[in-house]
Amino acid sequence: MIVKPSADSVLAGAQEAAKKGPPPVHLWNPPFCGDLDMRIARDGTWFYLGTPIGRPSLVKLFSSILKREDGKYFLVTPVEKVGIVVDDAPFVAVDFERTGAGQDQTLTFITHVGDRTTAGPERPIRVVRDPHTGEPSPYVLVRADLEALIDRKSFYRLVDLGAHEPVNGESWFGLWSAGRFFPFMPSSELAA
């Protein structure tokens, strides 16, 4: 008999794992149990069976057992793995804190589920530009191949902290954090 995955069974596994601290999802490799009708929208809203999940504590718990493998997203517990859909990035960086300035600054991002991640060599910032409109979509790595889309208000604040630096013989506009420069776009494109 095949048992269809349910949010309740995944939730129970997540609650049990959370009792011992942050779940070590990187160590878990349970069998795939099928897909769950769960989706994370681009704005960070989680949906189950087409309905938004309104309890932030539940979203935070589910987000703690999220894993990405081969470009696909899963909720994992020690005993099951279920596929979910992620429209863009699973997290949204809704704010950041800055210490220092210039090349000595450090940027720590806060996600909509309360994760904190400091951009640097291990947690890069990257910007993808829409090929048709040129509109930037900035991301920061949160954990284990899971990124946060940096929200628009935070990105505008980041742009004010930007600098022009040489990269491969060309001037680029970007940001410093934790001793690393993250180029966003050639400086020449800003002047255009």
pLDDT tens digits for 88-123?
999 999 999 999 999 999 999 999 999 999 999 999
Asked whether residue 133 carries a pLDDT value surpassing 50, the answer given is yes
- The pLDDT, as a whole number, for residue 137 is 94
Asked whether residue 43 carries a pLDDT value surpassing 80, the answer given is yes
pLDDT-derived band at 2, boundaries 50, 70, 90: very low
Q: Using CA atoms of 13, 18, 20, 26 in order, give the dihedral in degrees to the nearest 10.
A: 80
Which among 87, 52, 61 is positioned nearest to 8, based on CA atoms? 61
Q: What is the CA radius of gyration of the chain?
A: 19
Residues 6+ apart with CB under 8 A from 105: 98, 99, 161, 176, 177
Residue scoring higher pLDDT (19 or 114): 114
pLDDT-derived band at 21, boundaries 50, 70, 90: low
What pTM does this model have? 0.88
Task: Give the length of the chain.
Answer: 192
Please give the structure tokens belonging to residue 117: 């991640």
Give the angle subtended at the CA of 106 by the CAs of 137 and 103, to the nearest 5°. 95
Residue scoring higher pLDDT (117 or 25): 117
Residue scoring higher pLDDT (155 or 2): 155
List pLDDT tens digits, range 27-39. 899 999 999 999 9
pLDDT-derived band at 134, boundaries 50, 70, 90: confident
- The pLDDT, as a whole number, for residue 174 is 95
Residues 6+ apart with CB under 8 A from 168: none
Share of the chain above pLDDT 70, in %: 90
